[in-house]
Amino acid sequence: MTPPDLYGDLPSRSRNLITYALLACAFLGMLDGTVVGTALPRIVEQVGGSGAWYVWLVTAYLLTSSISVPIYGRFSDLHGRRRLLLSGVAIFLAGSLACGLATSMPFLIAGRALQGLGAGALLTLGMALVRDLHPPSRTGGLIRMQTLMAAMMIVGMIGGPLVGGLLTDHASWRWAFLVNLPIGTVAAAAVAVLLPDRRLPGVSAGRLDAAGIALLTGGLSLVLAGLSIKGNTSRTWDDPLVLATLLAGLALLAALVPVERRAATPVLPPHLLRTRTYAALLTGGFFFQLAALPAGVFLPLYLQHVRGHSATVSGLLLLPLLVGMVVGNRATAGLILRSGHTKPALLTGAALLAAGSAAFFTLGQDTSPALTGAWLLLIGLGTGPAMGGLTIATQNSVPHADMGTATAGSMLTKQLGGTFGLACAQSLIGGTRITAAGVGGTIGWLGTVAGLLALAALLTMRDVTVGHRTPSPATTSS
């Protein structure tokens, strides 16, 4: 039995308009995670603030957007997605307005934290509602949506710094935040008018898991804060602040386990984490993100500091990575939905990602752009399956009643993988002097090891078939 088509009666035009509005919401949440980077020097120049405030301007958004993701996901499964998404958009726009009007660094950081609280809904519920609107039974629509979502993710990751730089140079850094207001308002209006408020029949909301929410929020906040401090400062892993923050966060997350086992309506349902396939997909997503991060973040440093290219040229030299991502994602979605099998595409992606990363061990000062472009294309082709295929597999590996929670868990583990990867990369690259060996070794070690670990994790999963009923947790747990 296939999952129910909750919006099967919607006219095609309304379905498409709602989808574009949802993608716009998710795009804004992703864009604001990166848009502030190129605007930071001008912000500090005009608003003021020490280096510590500078780091927290980035970290505040990361923290609140990450910790709110699993809460939005679980609540949407229990209470429906439409009202939660609209509430998240309102919070996000209020935070954007506060950032745009800020006159002090503490006020600006508070605005960024408020933005992040709303962005958790934009990212999680936008993706989950797209899946509700385009279930596997609507094969053609699902392929198009996976392609659009992949393009949105790439533009959000790469376009954020470009948009931030253009607005800062030609308007004001405040417009990097204020531009969200008209886009978000139009998208929210479309969702409010066109999208019916529906949820899966027979799902009981139950009591609020206040203890679970508190432990999850506290634990994730401390872990992410510790990783962010490690990744954005010169502190080492054994630094007392980094170590204490990470250990405290892990202790709270460990305490969450028995609490969730006893909760009537847990915020993180234990039966999902006991499911072998879902656990393997979460682990694979963590290592996929960790492996893919170094090439996009650190190769531009090599191109500019070692090869002497301008920022524009270095951006153009990264195009093979983006092309590979788009082609890999589109091909993966098509193959999965034609064959009905997800595991082969995911395993192929992990292998390609590891192979492309391993090639960077040979990176030198005179390595030709054609050769680095070929390696980047290989990494992009390997990352593509993680963008679309991992989402399809995750959402089809659980009962439809848990789909929002599953989507949120996948997004959260990817975020943790990226943050952990950045912290590890800062340790590997070695000092402040950028060298070909340092960049090549960082990309090679992280990408190869994490890619192989993703491959190992995905080998343990059962093949998730699209368009068929997912086995119950009892039959898939290890």
Q: 270-478: same fold as 1-196?
A: yes
Does the domain at 270-478 match CATH 1.20.1250.20? Answer given as yes
Handedness of CA 342, 343, 348, 354 (dihedral sign): positive
pLDDT digits (tens, 9 = 90+) for 289-340: 889 888 877 887 788 788 887 766 776 788 888 888 878 887 887 788 778 8
Domains in the chain: boundaries: 1-196, 270-478
Whole-number pLDDT of residue 5: 67
- pLDDT the model gives residue 206: 59
User: What would the mean pLDDT of 328-356 be, rounded to a whole number?
Assistant: 87
Q: What is the pLDDT of residue 237?
A: 83
Query: How much of the chain, in percent, has pLDDT values that exceed 70?
Result: 82
SS in 3 state form for 244-273?
A: HHHHHHHHHHHHHHHHHHHCCCCCCCHHHH
* Dist CA 129 CA 190 (whole Å): 14
Length of the chain: 478
Cα–Cα distance measured from residue 40 to residue 177, given in angstroms and rounded to the nearest whole number = 13
Give every CB contact of residue 195 below 8 A, 6+ residues apart in sequence. 7, 18, 82, 129
Which CATH number applies to 1-196?
1.20.1250.20
End-to-end CA distance of the chain: 24
pLDDT of residue 204: 57
Judged against a pLDDT cut of 50, whether residue 61 lies above it is answered with: yes
Write out pLDDT tens, residues 246-304.
999 899 989 988 888 887 777 778 888 788 898 999 999 999 988 988 887 788 778 87
Give the mean pLDDT of 16-34: 84
Whether the pLDDT of residue 432 is over 70: the answer is: no
95-98: list long-range contacts, CB under 8 Å, 24+ apart: 96/32, 96/177, 96/178, 96/180, 96/181, 96/184, 97/177, 97/178, 97/181
More confident residue, 111 or 173: 111
| 158-176 residue pLDDT tens | 666 666 666 666 777 788 8
- Residue 341, φ and ψ in degrees, nearest 5: -115, 140
| pLDDT value at residue 86 | 94
Give the residue from 418, 441, 451 showing the smallest Cα distance to 302: 441
